Amino acid sequence: MFRGSIVALVTPMHDDGAVDWNALAALIEWHCTSGTDAIVSVGTTGESATLSPAEHKAVIRFTVEKVAGRVPVIAGAGGNATSEAIDLSLAAYDAGCAATLQVVPYYNKPPQRGLYAHFKAIADAVPMPHLLYNVPGRTACDLLPETVVALAKVPNIVGIKEASNMARMIELRAVCPPDFALLCGEDGLSAEALCNGTVDGVVSVTANLAPDIMHQMVAAGLAREENRCHALNDRLAPLHEAMFYECNPLPVKWALYRLG
């Protein structure tokens, strides 16, 4: 289930900041018919940190409804407050999501024991699969491998999106259980991480713009078809770079706007 090309879907908005439901429906349909293997709804790229709780839950429900079981929907449901993350996760559970994505709490910079307690409380409270999400460049807090290993033993915690560096992904693959999903959270590292057998899939910003090619690239990497994977990634590389010309999701939303 947590494998392949997983799009970190944007949340399209009108000029006044209201969610553009028609545009969101069109994007969902495009991904469901273009090879995308799963959709992350209201993750970082979907502006989880700035949507109101009501908007956040509404986008998740809408996404599940429009997907209609064609691909798994993973709800961005993390938060700096454990109670908030539990509330969003319960909403994702009620909506019928396949899993949640739980970002490392930001700003407060909790110690590792605090991170463990936070994620365990969510997993204990909400009976569904949960994926950890480590992105220290944004959160200023790093979920260390030894903490990930401990959390992998907690029922309902089934994997991690790692958005740091290749060395960390390789270390996690070495120390985590074989059935613990490891997803690359950096588009620029995805081809290498796939071809060396480190990751099970990619949570991609670039997939917003090129879902078919991203799906083909990830599938080739998982099949260890290295030449094909790297050839496809060479086509995607300019997009990988452009998507982070400024802070995500500014570039990808501008690009989608230009595409119409």
Catalytic residue numbers read 133, 161
Phi, psi of 130 (to 5 degrees): -130, 135
**How far is Cα 235 from Cα 257, in angstroms, rounded to an integer?**
21
**How far is Cα 89 from Cα 73, in angstroms, rounded to an integer?**
13
Residue type, 166: M
User: What's the chain's Rg over C-alpha atoms?
Assistant: 17
Which residue(s) pair with 102 in the sheet?
132
**How far is Cα 193 from Cα 87, in angstroms, rounded to an integer?**
34
Tokens of 22: 């028609």
Closest listed residue to residue 207, CA positions, set 1, 2, 4:
4
Instruction: Give the chain's end-to-end CA distance (angstroms, integer).
Output: 31
> For the chain, what's the residue count?
260
* Cα separations in angstroms, 24 against 20, 49, 198: 6, 18, 32
Question: Cis peptide before 136, with omega less than 30 degrees from 0?
Answer: no
Tokens of 6: 């997983």
**Cβ 108 vs Cβ 80: under 8 Å:** yes
**How far is Cα 129 from Cα 101, in angstroms, rounded to an integer?**
9
